[in-house]
Amino acid sequence: MTIKERLYISNTLMIIVPVVITAIIAVACLEIVWLTMINGTGLVLKDAPPFYNASQKIAAITETFLNTTDPNEQAKQIKLLEKLLDQSSLSLIISTSDAERYHFGKEIALNDPQLLAAMAALNNEGIVTSNGHNYYAHQTEISGTLYRISILGQQLEDSPHLRHKVLILCGIILIFGIFLSVLFTNKFLIKFVFQKIERPLNILTNGVRQIRDGNLEYSIKYDRKDEFAPVCEDFNDMAVRLKKSVALLQQQEVSRKELLAGISHDLRSPLTAIRAYVEGLLEGVARTPEAQRNYLETIKTKAIDIDQMVAKIFLFSKMEIGENWDHPEVLNLAAEIKTLINAVGREYKEKGLEITVKNLLSVAVLADPNSFRRILVNILDNSLKYKNKAVGIFTISLHQENAYVILTLSDDGPGVPEESLSRIFDPFYRSDPARQNPHKGSGLGLAIVFKIVSQLDGRIVAKNRKNGGLTIEIKLPLQEAKV
């Protein structure tokens, strides 16, 4: 049963139960008032015998008394008669045709001619009522003697003051009954509804404390199908996401430390060289103009390396915080690749890296021209730095796969150890753990490529070629219209 259903039942019972209890109390009070109005007093019970029934009972005991000759038994019957007569405030007269024989009970004066006439008119048995008096007559023959049993009683007068008190009492009982019915009904229904809420709240509270205390593996198990079920599911989803966020923050902290270590390491080598050559110049180690020129050329080269490294660090930092200010436009990849090769192909060939192309499809993507050229140049530089042949071959190709274009960039260099393939796009990562070759680059080139591809909603992977070398595949979404 859901909480909504329980609340519906609770609200319904909150109305019905007090109404039913109030109706019961009202009926009882009305009955008390009715009995009061009929009997003149609130002390007369509903099942109290009326005058006629009481008179018949007294008449039967009287006959027993008259039939008894044993003095002890007669005394016993007289005692019983007096008790009944006192309880009902009645008067008993036993007489024969010639005179009154016995008189028990209360003395009642009769001044009502109509009642006396009615009493005289009763022959054998009957009951008459007049002006507040009840009269019962009964005749019986015992041992040849005819006895007349007469029972006289007064009607109780109606009392407005008494009715007023009874009405006030009934009102108090009614109000108090309503109060108690509402109180106990409310208490029961609160328990009825709250017990459905208490357990889920305790489960959620415990879950929150577990997460607060660092137990990110904690998961709530809740099998009920009610309003708390989606809350518990969202809690578990939150815990999973929080765990991933914490893991990401930890990974970012490790990356930050590695970044600082990489920057320090890669800046130290050229700065040390610059310092050494400057000290050589100051101390007169380079005595000839040619030696001094060579020293200065070396200092210039190291300064350029530092400048390029700082530029890449600056670019990578901007990309990390999303402030690289790209201006994407529809690019024809084949045309962009040919333009770049015409601009830098001869320079790379002179350095020992020959660029070749094949299957250059005329496909279009949405990208910033400078960012796309940076992808190609950074991968070209990486292949140039790590080539192990006098002349290396770098191949560029394009092919379409459904709604994507695959840009494949391959070289015939030494490749990358298998265990390092998944990390070559990490900042400052080189496949040599000791980082003994800082002159081969800052380690930011491929990290920048990865960032650019990610911003283009693409995917990049690195694979080793079977015959040696490294292949980088870049998957980019196509534009609907080809250029």
Q: pTM score, two decimals? A: 0.47
Q: 1-10, 34-43, 48-57, 194-203: lowest mean pLDDT where? A: 34-43
Alpha helices (H) in 41-103, listed in sequence order = 51-67, 71-88
Place of tokens 């319904």: 12
Roughly how many angstroms between the first and final C-alpha of the chain, as a whole number? 63
d(CA 336, CA 328) in angstroms, rounded, equals 14
- Structure tokens given for 384: 């140039």
b/e per residue, 250-274, with b = 16+ CB within 10 A? Answer: eeeeebeeebeebbeebbebbeebb
- Please state which of the four CATH numbers 3.40.50.2300, 2.40.160.20, 3.40.50.620, 1.10.287.130 is assigned to the domain occupying 220-324: 1.10.287.130
Tell me the per-residue pLDDT of 59-115, one tens digit each, with 9 for 90 and over: 888 888 888 888 899 889 889 988 888 887 888 888 887 788 888 887 776 666 766
d(CA 44, CA 175) in angstroms, rounded, equals 24
Neighbours of 120 (CB within 10 A): 9
Q: Do domains 51-155 and 326-477 have the same CATH topology?
A: no
What DSSP letter does each residue of 241-285 carry, written as one string? HHHHHHHHHHHHHHHHHHHHHHHHHHHHHHHHHHHHHHHHHHHT-
The CB-based long-range contact list for 177-181 (8 Å cut-off, 24+ gap) reads 177/21, 177/22, 177/25, 178/18, 178/21, 178/22, 178/25, 181/17, 181/18, 181/21, 181/22
Fold observed for domain 51-155: Beta-Lactamase (3.30.450)
**Conformation bin of residue 359: beta by default, left when phi > 0, alpha when psi is -120 to 50:** left
Measured CA angle at 251 (ends 248, 253), to 5 deg: 110
3-state class (DSSP) for residue 211 = helix
Q: Report whether 361 contacts 335 (CB < 8 A).
A: no
- Does residue 4 have a pLDDT over 70? no
CATH architecture of 326-477: 2-Layer Sandwich (3.30)
**What pLDDT score was predicted for residue 432?**
45
Q: 26-30, 184-188, 193-197: lowest mean pLDDT where? A: 193-197
Domain ranges of the chain: 3-41+161-201, 51-155, 220-324, 326-477
